[in-house]
Amino acid sequence: MSLHIEFDLSIDGDAPAEPFLDRFELEQMFAGARRSIGGDLRRKFADFVCAEHAEAPKFKISGVYDNSMEEMDIQYHVDTCCQRFLMRVMQILNQRN
């Protein structure tokens, strides 16, 4: 079963006159985030399904690059078949590496 991972990466605000990162570099950063976060989740959750319902978790990663702050805010949204499995997924998600 392949893991469901969806990315929603966007840019917020107008670019400053002399942006820290130009458009191309931002795309590179987004691609890097997809690779590293996606790879990390696939590694951690390979063949990981709910013991009761045999369903894999679904992930949605929202990332907003704020042009004025020049900061990237990343949020994980996890969708699971039941509360108990969500707890298990969150435990693993919060483990270092």
Contact between 81 and Zn ion per CB under 5 A: yes
- In this chain, which of 3, 15, 50, 90 binds Zn ion, going by CB under 5 A? 50
Q: x/- string (CB under 5 A) for Zn ion, residues 1-30?
A: ------------------------------
User: Within 13 Å and on the Cβ side, how many CA atoms surround 50?
Assistant: 16
Task: Tell me the closest approach of the beta carbon of residue 60 to Zn ion, in angstroms.
Answer: 18
Non-local CB neighbours of 46 within 8 Å, separated by 6+ positions: 3
Which SS3 state, helix, strand or coil, does residue 39 take?
Answer: helix
Contact between 89 and Zn ion per CB under 5 A: no
Cβ(56)–Cβ(49) under 8 Å?
yes
Give residues in contact with Zn ion (CB under 5 A). 50, 52-53, 81-82, 85
